[in-house]
């Protein structure tokens, strides 16, 4: 009995020092309030000019060109109701004698608009390349590549809040490899 009484008194004293459930909740709330919260800036404020094309992104003989942040209002995608992006960047590409290539990044705040853009561009490519070869490509959330009978390759990738298109003469494997590098560079920006 002599041992039990001091242990019991020690236990009561230690238990009385513990904070109540309400005190724990208050302390947790204060800690959460004090934590900094990341400020998400709007996609419209992005500056990705130096990220679109990097050295060694393309096979030899391919070069990048002019960058634009304004979609051409008469662009063929508009026939397919591609939603207006919150951020857009396009850069011209040239490989060999073909100077009409283009890489585009459409970024949307609204995930539904991102999906609509991907579906619209995919529908356009299917109509454009009737008789061509289409392949699902393992990139982003979903991707689709087409090669026309004339050898032109187009690729569209949807990943998080972005749709990336690559339009160039060349093989689908090299365009997919470039799109994968671009996606890896940009996904920290548009996957939030």
Query: What domains, with CATH codes, occur in the chain?
Result: 4-34 (no CATH), 45-190 (3.40.1000.20)
| Average predicted confidence (pLDDT) for the chain | 78
The answer to whether the beta carbons of residues 177 and 184 sit under 8 Å apart is no
Q: What percent of the chain has pLDDT over 70?
A: 73
CA nearest neighbour of 179 among 153, 147, 151: 153
Check residue 75 and give its pLDDT. 64
How far is it, in rounded angstroms, from Cα 156 to Cα 162? 10
Specify the pLDDT at position 35: 53
Q: Provide the greatest CA pair distance for the chain.
A: 99
Q: Which of 26-30, 38-42, 156-160 has the lowest mean pLDDT?
A: 38-42
From the list 163, 109, 155, 115, the residue with the least C-alpha distance to 132 is 155
* Confidence (pLDDT) at 106: 93
The listed range with the strongest mean pLDDT (95-99, 152-156, 158-162, 164-168) is 158-162
Instruction: Name the band, by pLDDT with cuts 50, 70 and 90, for residue 32.
Output: low
Indicate the pLDDT class of residue 174, thresholds 50, 70 and 90. confident
* Average pLDDT of span 82-100: 85
Assign 3-class secondary structure to the chain: CCCHHHHHHHHHHHHHHCCCHHHHHHHHHHHHHHCCCCCCCCHHHCCCHHHHCCCCCCCCCEEEEEEECCCCCCCHHHHHCCCCCCEEEEEEEEECCEEEEEEEEEECCCHHHHHHHHHHHHHHHHHHCCCCEEEECCCCCEEEEEECCCCEEEEEEEECCEEEEEEEECCHHHHHHHHHHHHHHHHHHHCC
pLDDT at 18: 63
pLDDT higher for 83 or 29? 83
- Residue 122 pLDDT class (50, 70, 90 cuts): confident
pLDDT higher for 159 or 132? 159
pLDDT higher than threshold 90 for residue 40 = no
Q: Is the pLDDT of residue 185 over 80?
A: yes
Is residue 139 predicted with pLDDT exceeding 80? yes
Task: Give residue 98's pLDDT band: very low, low, confident or very high (50, 70, 90).
Answer: confident
């Amino acid at each position: 009995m002599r041992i039990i009484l001091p242990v019991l008194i020690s236990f009561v004293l230690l238990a009385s020092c513990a904070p109540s459930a309400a005190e724990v909740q208050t302390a947790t709330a204060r800690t959460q309030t004090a934590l900094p919260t990341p400020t998400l800036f709007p996609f419209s404020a992005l500056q990705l000019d130096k990220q679109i094309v990097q050295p060694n992104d393309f096979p030899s003989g391919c070069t990048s060109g002019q960058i634009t942040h304004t979609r051409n209002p008469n662009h063929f995608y508009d026939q397919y109701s591609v939603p207006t992006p919150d951020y857009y960047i396009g850069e011209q590409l040239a490989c060999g004698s073909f100077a009409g290539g283009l890489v585009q990044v459409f970024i949307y705040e609204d995930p539904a608009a991102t999906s609509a853009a991907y579906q619209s561009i995919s529908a356009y490519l299917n109509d454009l390349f009737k008789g061509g070869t289409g392949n699902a490509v393992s990139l982003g959330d979903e991707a689709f590549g087409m090669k026309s009978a004339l050898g032109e390759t187009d690729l569209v990738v949807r990943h998080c809040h972005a749709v990336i298109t690559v339009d160039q003469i060349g093989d689908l494997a090299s365009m997919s490899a470039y799109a994968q590098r671009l996606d890896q560079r940009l996904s920290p920006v548009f996957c939030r």
